[in-house]
Structure 1
Amino acid sequence: MRFAHALIFLSVLLAGSASHAAPALQPAQLGLVVNDDEPNSVELGEYYRTAHGIPEANIVHVRIPNRPRKLTAEQFAKLKADIDSKLGADVQAVLMVWTAPYAVECNGITAALALGFDPDQCVKTCAAGKPSAYFNGSMAPAQAQPGMRLAMLLPTESVEAGKALVDRGKSSGFRVPAAGAYYLVTSENARNSRAQFFPASGAVPQRKLAIHTLREEAIEGKRDIMIYQTGKARVDKLETLGFLPGALADHLTSFGGDLLGEGQMSSLRWLEAGATASYGTVSEPCNFWQKFPNPSVLLRHYLGGATAIEAYWRSVAWPAQGVFIGDPLAAPYRR
């Protein structure tokens, strides 16, 4: 869906389509997976459980020694079976409390956990992906696809930074601030493939949100950021920015989901700068917009009251190569 100007965007947003969506994810519907072989995972898992009131029955303990960045399909199959066997049918989403592993061969681990490992994507990573039945939908995950649970990672590189992230996710529900959504068309033309879905600059007064669609390489000094989406291999001036609790931010580039890689900018940089959730791909996706968060879909669902994990998952049409990171329960616009 393409928005030609602000009035079309507003009419779609405020027509009430989001009001027909399944109720936003609740803490009792979230499973928490802790790696007992990683002390940071154990400490942050307990912090998250307490902060968000996750039921004890929803806590799953696993052992993944040596923090590998990538799992084989066989290793992942055992991990997924272990997680699935310990969660009840009412659990609609899973938060894995670790940074690594974040890939299953060429798949993002969050996509593989939610949809199952897709070996066909690894034959040619630049080929089209399998469509997600959850994309831009209104149903609960298991209604969209039997057995589906949304998935996200809570990074654990720093306990202090992890706790600050959890605090931002929790405080995002306390009030709706005046905020800005920033969409940048940059000089890196190949990474502008989703610019066609950027909403036009304007205002959403019912949500106290100002939309800024700009031809810029980066923004600087902005302190009201709720959404920031761009196409760059590396995004500059993040240290000058102020992200509001619940902010979503991501960049279209090939290896943002290679969280601990040393090539293109890792999606972890967004969380370190103050965002509450982000997304990136773990293997070369080429620049299909369908493999990245669709800006208009993401904004519509988030402003409609969805949690960060629901809005992000609904915005990616072909998610096999992607990894979602952050606090899944952040929901600044929850009704």
Structure 2
Amino acid sequence: MRNFLCLSLALAAGAAHADAPAAAAVPPGLQAAQLAIVINDAEPNSVEVGEYYRKAHGIPAANVAHVNIPNRPRKLSVDQFTQLKERINAQLKPEIQAVLMVWSAPYAVECNAITAAFTLGYDGDQCAKTCDPGKPSRYFNSEAAQPYTQLGLRLSMLLPIDFVEEAKAVVDRGAVSGFSVPAASAYYLTTSDTARNSRAAFFPPAGVVRQRKLTVKNLKADSLEGAQDIMVYQTGLAKVAKLETLHFLPGALADHLTSFGGDLQGSSQMSSQRWLEAGATASYGTVSEPCSYWQKFPNPTVLLRRYLSGSTALEAYWGSVLWPAQGLFIGDPLAAPYAGFRR
């Protein structure tokens, strides 16, 4: 029997699925002054987009960190990553709670995603057997309003910059989200791909969340076609069709449960970057074979509850993944279309 949670009760009381830790109050939201931008000076696109992001979100110039990563490697060794993280941390003020890396590569540290390795530390045990269960994140469903101050965790996200104008479009969508609450829909697709439907039991029940002007829609289909009001789109497939027919609202979250969505420059499966190119503002994918544990992917109920309660895209996504070692968080971390509902 599918075990659903009532979304309206979850928003009111912070309830969570029985298999997850008890939920708590959603954080009041990451502020621009608490976010650091990391620019790769070896890449002109990173320099241009990083400055564009800083101005769009009003981030202090003192929050910008600079590194030099030549040749755009997809993957770093543990030693290379350790040196990179030390260079970044040396430039961060104590009040910085989160970090945005402005580049397309590197995006992996051995089998770990670079965002997970930065926030949680490199997990060598996961690389010994990538299909084994992962280590729980202390930030999963957390009430910590200051993740670094309270938990010692600087949340991180990566903004791909292969194409400058597309990257700037992501920033623009993130910057305008939250100016007004749009009438929107959250779409959850149970597909014909049984192995990739492992989180379908966590899809929120269909219905209307009236205060948020959001309609939750559950579909049994392999693709969504023609929808023009998307705030959330979660599905399970190796490749998602008909993205070109869709319209994503500013701040929209979208991801697909598959093995290599976080392999941004891979070709065996659809890259999570395709969601951003289609109009989403943030996404998630794994960089190495995780097997189909739901715990390694965004929990749909937790993600939606946190986002509708005013969390930023960064907080909502990070707070929804229990075992994130292999998971890459991408997009605009400060997008927050429901910021007006923060407590």
| Interval containing the TM-score (normalised by the shorter chain) | over 0.9
Specify which of 284, 304, 307 is matched with residue 302 of structure 1. Answer: 307
Kindly tell me: are residues 16 and 77 of structure 1, through their superposed partners in 2, closer, same or farther at Cα, counting changes over 3 Å?
A: closer
Matches within 5 A, 1:185-196: 185-196=190-201
Q: Which whole-Å CA distance do the structure 2 matches of 1:4 and 1:315 have between them?
A: 16
Q: Which whole-Å CA distance do the structure 1 matches of 2:196 and 2:149 have between them?
A: 33
- 8 Å CA contact retained: 1:3, 1:199: no
Shift, 1:242, TM fit: 0.2
Query: Which runs of 5 or more residues in structure 2 are unaligned?
Result: 16-22
Which residue is equivalent to 2:7? 9
- 8 Å CA contact retained: 1:153, 1:326: yes
- 8 Å CA contact retained: 1:170, 1:329: yes
Q: One-letter code of the match for 2:61?
A: E
- 8 Å CA contact retained: 2:24, 2:141: no
Matches within 5 A, 1:149-228: 149-228=154-233
Shift, 1:22, TM fit: 3.0
Specify which of 267, 270, 289 is matched with residue 284 of structure 1. Answer: 289
Which residue is equivalent to 1:141? 147
User: Does 2:95 match 1:90?
Assistant: yes
Q: Which whole-Å CA distance do the structure 2 matches of 1:169 and 1:56 have between them?
A: 19
Q: Which whole-Å CA distance do the structure 1 matches of 2:165 and 2:35 have between them?
A: 23
Which residue is equivalent to 2:128? 123
Shift, 1:249, TM fit: 0.1
Q: Which whole-Å CA distance do the structure 1 matches of 2:102 and 2:143 have between them?
A: 27
Shift, 1:306, TM fit: 0.1
Shift, 1:144, TM fit: 5.5
Q: Which whole-Å CA distance do the structure 1 matches of 2:318 and 2:73 have between them?
A: 25
Matches within 5 A, 1:314-329: 314-329=319-334
- 8 Å CA contact retained: 2:309, 2:338: yes
Matches within 5 A, 1:54-133: 54-133=59-138
C-alpha RMSD over aligned residues = 1.3
- 8 Å CA contact retained: 2:177, 2:251: yes
- 8 Å CA contact retained: 2:225, 2:243: yes
**Secondary structure of 2:318's match?**
helix
Moved more, 302-311 or 136-145: 136-145
Q: Which whole-Å CA distance do the structure 1 matches of 2:51 and 2:270 have between them?
A: 29
Q: One-letter code of the match for 1:135?
A: F
- 8 Å CA contact retained: 2:97, 2:149: no
* TM-score, length-scaled by structure 2: 0.94
User: Does 2:318 match 1:313?
Assistant: yes
Deviations 1:268-298 (A, max 9, x none): 0000000000000000000000000000000
Kindly tell me: are residues 317 and 19 of structure 1, through their superposed partners in 2, closer, same or farther at Cα, counting changes over 3 Å?
A: closer
Q: Which whole-Å CA distance do the structure 1 matches of 2:138 and 2:97 have between them?
A: 15
**Secondary structure of 1:301's match?**
helix
Shift, 1:12, TM fit: 1.9
Q: Which whole-Å CA distance do the structure 1 matches of 2:111 and 2:151 have between them?
A: 22
Shift, 1:3, TM fit: 5.1
- 8 Å CA contact retained: 1:135, 1:317: yes
Q: Which whole-Å CA distance do the structure 2 matches of 1:223 and 1:21 have between them?
A: 28
Q: Which whole-Å CA distance do the structure 2 matches of 1:3 and 1:167 have between them?
A: 37
Q: Which whole-Å CA distance do the structure 1 matches of 2:290 and 2:172 have between them?
A: 33
- 8 Å CA contact retained: 1:285, 1:291: yes
**Secondary structure of 1:280's match?**
strand
Q: Which whole-Å CA distance do the structure 2 matches of 1:145 and 1:26 have between them?
A: 17
- 8 Å CA contact retained: 1:96, 1:152: yes
Q: One-letter code of the match for 2:173?
A: R
User: Does 2:41 match 1:44?
Assistant: no
- 8 Å CA contact retained: 2:303, 2:317: yes
Shift, 1:15, TM fit: 3.2
Matches within 5 A, 1:233-244: 233-244=238-249
Q: Which whole-Å CA distance do the structure 2 matches of 1:19 and 1:81 have between them?
A: 33
Kindly tell me: are residues 16 and 186 of structure 1, through their superposed partners in 2, closer, same or farther at Cα, counting changes over 3 Å?
A: closer
Q: Which whole-Å CA distance do the structure 2 matches of 1:42 and 1:193 have between them?
A: 39
Q: Which whole-Å CA distance do the structure 2 matches of 1:304 and 1:3 have between them?
A: 22
Q: Which whole-Å CA distance do the structure 1 matches of 2:150 and 2:125 have between them?
A: 21
Q: Which whole-Å CA distance do the structure 2 matches of 1:90 and 1:271 have between them?
A: 29
- How many correspondences in the alignment? 331
**Secondary structure of 1:300's match?**
helix
